[in-house]
Structure 1
Amino acid sequence: MYKLMLSDLDETLLVNHHVPKENAEAIKKAQAKGLKFVPATGRAYNMIQEILQEIGTYQKEEQYSICFNGALIMENKDDKVLHFQGISFEQAKELFELAKNYDVCVMIFTTSMCYLFNADPTEVERKTAQKAPFKIIDEFNMDFLKDDQIAKLLYVRPNMPLLKSIEQDLLEDIERIGVCASYSSYRYLEFNAIGVSKGFALRWLSEYLGIDMNETIAIGDNYNDVDMIKEAALGICVPCAEGDIKELCQYVTENDYDQGAVKEAIEKFVL
């Protein structure tokens, strides 16, 4: 039996930033059978509290969350930090300065706040809908973050070909700075510390819980989900995923994220 399931949030579990009733009911049935259901997201921990309530793990002992693409691993009870691996101010500063060469919104997550520079109106709307604590910074200067814990930095444009071309331009810089790049929600080029991924978090949490990797499932839709899909014994994606992601999976759900994909996966492989 599968004992640990990691699920991406946006374009996988959620519809309009909430867990649909059919997904929530399936999760709770699986939890009753002993499954640990863990959100694995690029979002900050303070952005997913309502979601944890909807799946029944909010402030619960021995229930967990993976945030910032694996940079932060939490036990939900008392908001206990189990693992954190962010990027340094110096790394963030270099990426920040490079962004001046491109027409992108820059988003910096600390452990407690999201800061938007050159704010994209659609991103402001998105962060408002996500109920994210965020601030718009009018001056393109991040020096005020020098003493903060920075989790990750993102370039934002709802244009994946553009973001991919930016990554290609910056390949040498990314290696020199010592970060890794991934994509999510078809609008984010994300920079995390080297070694940070949802796959790393899956391995870390399974070892922490004493769960064999052969007893793990991961479901997602985008490139920041690839590592956990590859690491899990059973890798699943939803139909809206790109073709190269589907090729990595053992199963592609028949239903898309807004049609109960997570419910389908749970019913087929857990219940």
Structure 2
Amino acid sequence: MYKILALDMDDTLLRKDLTISEKNKDAIKKAAEKGVKIVFCSGRSSKSMINYINNLNGYNCNEYLISYNGAMVLNLKDKATLFNKYVEKEYVLKLVDYGRTNNLNIQLYIDDNVVVEKFDERTKQYEVLSGLPVKQVKDLKEVSDKGSLKVLINNDENILNELKTELDELLGNDLNIFFSKPYYLEFLNKKANKGIGLLELAKLIDIPLKDIIAIGDSFNDISMIEIAGLGVAIGNAHEKVKKIANYVTKNDHNNDGVAEVIEKFILD
């Protein structure tokens, strides 16, 4: 029997309107009642994720979470940090300089806050998506003494595609660099991704990888889909994600794809 259900949020569990369907909620509750640990695993900040978890009070999914694309693992019961890996200050400063040179919107994640120098329309859209206010500061370098849990460039898809090759050459040996959405290019510590975060949690609570289901849609989900006993791509997932998955749902994120997995592999 599967013992952990690791769920990506955006474009997997959440619908286009950023809500969780009643069918998905019901399936999650039934899985938890069977003893499966429900673990949200997202690129979002912990604070953004907790807002959703609090709205699922009574659904038994408030034990652990994996945030910042795997850079942090939290025990929600006692608020303990079980694992974290920061982008070190050296690389944060390089990315801030790169952003200034190329007129890019650089976002840092400091003490569970999103921090920017440049506040524009894209920043406003990010606030809507995350459900969190973004803090504007004069100088990102002054708030990055301990590094950042992740760094995100929020910009046009075509511009980011052109820049990624250059950034891979500049920092690819030192950081994990990937798209979480076509317009979000993210940077993590080389020893952090969703797969590593899930592996660390599994070791801490003594659950073998074969007993884990992981469901996702995008490039940042590949690492956890690959290590899980059952790696699932949601129906709307990128083709590269579908190719590495053990199972691809018939339904997409707008049509209860998560419930499909729970009903087929946990409740059946």
Normalised TM-score (structure 2)? 0.92
Instruction: Summarize the alignment of residues 210-225 of structure 1 with structure 2, pairs less than 5 Å apart.
Output: 210-225=206-221
Rate the CA distance shift 1:242–1:88 in 2: closer, same or farther, 3 A: same
User: What amino acid is aligned across from residue 162 of structure 2 in structure 1?
Assistant: S
Q: Deviations over 1:65-107 (max 9, x none)?
A: 0001111100111322111111122210111111234343111
Counterpart in 2 of 1:98?
98
User: Map of 1:1-271 to 2, 5 A cutoff?
Assistant: 1-15=1-15, 16-56=17-57, 63-137=63-137, 139=138, 141-148=139-146, 150-159=148-157, 161-175=158-172, 178-271=174-267
- Deviations 1:163-199 (Å, cap 9, x if unpaired)? 23211012221146x2111211222110000120000
Q: How many residues align?
A: 266
Q: Deviations along 1:127-183, whole A, 9 cap, x unmatched? A: 14532142133x4x3122143552111111241x4323211012221146x211121
Post-superposition Cα deviations, 1:237-260, rounded to whole Å, max 9, x if no partner, equal 122222111101111111110111
> Which segments of 5 or more consecutive residues in structure 1 lack a partner in the other structure?
none
Offset at 1:233? 1.1
Moved more, 118-127 or 5-14: 118-127
1: CA distance, partners of 2:147 / 2:91: 12
Identity in percent: 29
Q: Which amino acid in structure 2 is aligned with residue 254 of structure 1?
A: K
Partner SS state of residue 240, structure 1: coil
Q: Residues of 1 paired with 2:71 and 2:47: CA distance?
A: 14
2 CA distance for matches of 1:57 and 1:197?
A: 29
- The one-letter code of the counterpart of 2:143 is L
Q: CA–CA distance in 2 between the matches of 1:51 and 1:34?
A: 21
CA distance in 1, matches of 2:78, 2:58: 12
Inter-partner Cα distance in structure 2 for 1:6 and 1:57? 18
> Runs in 1 of length 4+ with deviation above 6 angstroms?
57-61
CA distance in 1, matches of 2:123, 2:258: 26
Q: Which runs of 5+ in 2 are unaligned?
A: none
| Higher mean C-alpha displacement, 47-56 vs 252-261 | 47-56
